[in-house]
Structure 1
């Protein structure tokens, strides 16, 4: 079906299974892309995708036509990822983070990394650090907003971000050395 977003939303508000299916297929890749930046692996990302669409369809009645579908769906997805993190926090393995070390790195280092390589490096961060990094650097939340969403202090948010960036610098540096050695 080649329905517009407005037609899809109207159909979803009527609980039309066909409209929901088309909406799901149209936005699956978009939502999965967001989830992959928050989840440890593809299976967890898929859980967050499913929960995000369930929340979207269950709250579709409150969607206003003047809103952007993508931004509303993104907000639901990010909040679902945060909820998933909080719900499963006690079961997650935490990596030991070494003391922060200043490392010289090339200005263009990130430009030589492929997107997949960068995502793989980000996924090596502990879950709480990865979540703060994504919320701050990708989504643009303030430390105050992150603290409220994650139920941590603002200073913890700042520390997690600093540690995430330091760890990423280490990982990028190692990756570049490994790449240069090939």
Structure 2
């Protein structure tokens, strides 16, 4: 019943569908073994989402991926808004999946799942400044990707 929802959460944090399946399986294992800790007074989907996110972060740490940073040039916010208004959820998620693993994880935790920088720093064992920097750089990379899509669309229409 919750396969699709859990898979969508996992796919936000890992690039490969097979890895997402592995993360989801680990998550459902935790759900079934820890079901006695579920507070029936709260929404099940919220609890499930937190477990899937934590499993994805565990998966990320197991892979010993290093947090890297790139220098990015800023782009105009108007370009981002115009491109976003014409994109579907799947297209936006595809762009997010093109981010480096560290940027994708921090972006998803902060923007999609609403974690604070302090929570992100604690869960990923990084400093708050690194979390803020990675989120800023993820946004800049997305802006660059959006401006490229927008300029490609403009070039096609101008022909």
User: TM-score, with normalisation over the residues of structure 2?
Assistant: 0.90
User: Is there any run of 5+ residues in structure 1 with no aligned partner, and where?
Assistant: 1-25
Moved >3 Å (runs of 4+): none
Alignment-derived partner of residue 79 in structure 1: 54
CA contact (8 A) 2:83 2:149 kept: no
Aligned ranges 1:18-167 → 2 under 5 Å: 26-90=1-65, 97=70, 99-104=71-76, 105-106=78-79, 107-167=81-141
Matched position secondary structure for 1:181 = helix
**Quick check: which has more Rg, 1 or 2?**
1
2: CA distance between counterparts of 1:170 and 1:95?
A: 18
**Superposed CA offset, 1:141-182 (max 9, x none):** 111110000001101101100110000000111112223333
Matched position secondary structure for 1:75 = helix
1: CA distance between counterparts of 2:155 and 2:139?
A: 24
Displacement of 1:43 in angstroms is 1.3
Q: Which structure ranks higher in relative contact order (CA pairs < 8 Å, sequence separation ≥ 6)? A: 2
Relative distance call for 1:68 and 1:36 in structure 2 (3 A) is same
Displacement of 1:65 in angstroms is 1.8
CA contact (8 A) 2:14 2:20 kept: yes
User: Is there any run of 5+ residues in structure 2 with no aligned partner, and where?
Assistant: none
Give the superposed CA RMSD.
1.7
User: TM-score, with normalisation over the residues of structure 1?
Assistant: 0.79
Displacement of 1:95 in angstroms is 7.8
**Superposed CA offset, 1:116-141 (max 9, x none):** 22111111111011100010111111
Relative distance call for 1:96 and 1:152 in structure 2 (3 A) is closer
The alignment covers a number of residue pairs equal to 154
Relative distance call for 1:181 and 1:96 in structure 2 (3 A) is farther
Displacement of 1:115 in angstroms is 1.7
